[in-house]
Structure 1
């Protein structure tokens, strides 16, 4: 799952992104409201962590714009504004949670986990197809209950295919899910991860297959019997 951090303090942004990476999350970071809107317009994020003190627009106004556009992504406000009235305004504007600076990285991660576990969320924790299961929080992959060792990138590919099982996922969507706003990456990176994942699933006896739809993308479906 990919997160978006909107924070104008570049040092704090870097520290938070590194801490999330160590916890197993992919995170993009932007420092302005304009860049946040651009990112949200092109990538489906699992959670947004939003600072209110942005240089080009108040974060609360950005939050209202996100909600007005129909985007229901979970949003956690992370700010130095600690007053009760500020918290109420943030939650009333559409935030799902509110954390005051200074904060502990462990608490931020715990709050993100809570948002991802919320009932009714499209981001369900356990993803199943046939005898394959992926725990989207622990990143554990199992076949008939037996753990399968996959890399974080391979788990990310598997997650997006599972969330759209039975539908073709364009290659560009997989690239965005894997790399987000990160700089350059190899043109065949997705093919490499899919090839490795397909081989591992076959060898482990999975009853699902990853199909390559030439010139379009990939489709995960149960194997034909």
Structure 2
């Protein structure tokens, strides 16, 4: 699959999906190499911030917390900037994206420089600093679905469109998902077998 690198802060990064659990503190410029098991179809990667864990791996994080565990067993709590991937899909393509549907906690880059696919997706705007008051939380900016839990924002029926809140995210990060049906401008492909890099706080 590739690697996760942190450039500025020391967030705890997390991989979740077909990959069963994971979590590691990354110091500035530290690299975490991830070899995705054969047959893995999809997963998500995110950073957790302002974390404190004891020797047994129990504690908490201000954003992206995984039910108080260093080794996550479930998705992290919003807000969290997500790198998402689906491997080996239609026509031997991987689908990759950055999502702000669950909000934003750290800037992120999701990229590849493998032969046959040079792709760079970024979300590096000051979303936390400019966050609408209704979505502000310590250390992050929530997506509207986790806050309001309505069909308009969560799109559980699959029939929804942009909102003022989704436009806030899209204006600042045009390559990232801003609401659940934002596929056309937010999903990118590379040939299956591509190696990827996720940089938090680029």
Normalising by structure 1, what TM-score?
Answer: 0.25
Normalising by structure 2, what TM-score?
Answer: 0.27
The structure showing larger relative contact order (alpha-carbon pairs under 8 Å, at least 6 residues apart) is 2
Structure with greater proportional helix content: 1
Structure with greater proportional strand content: 2
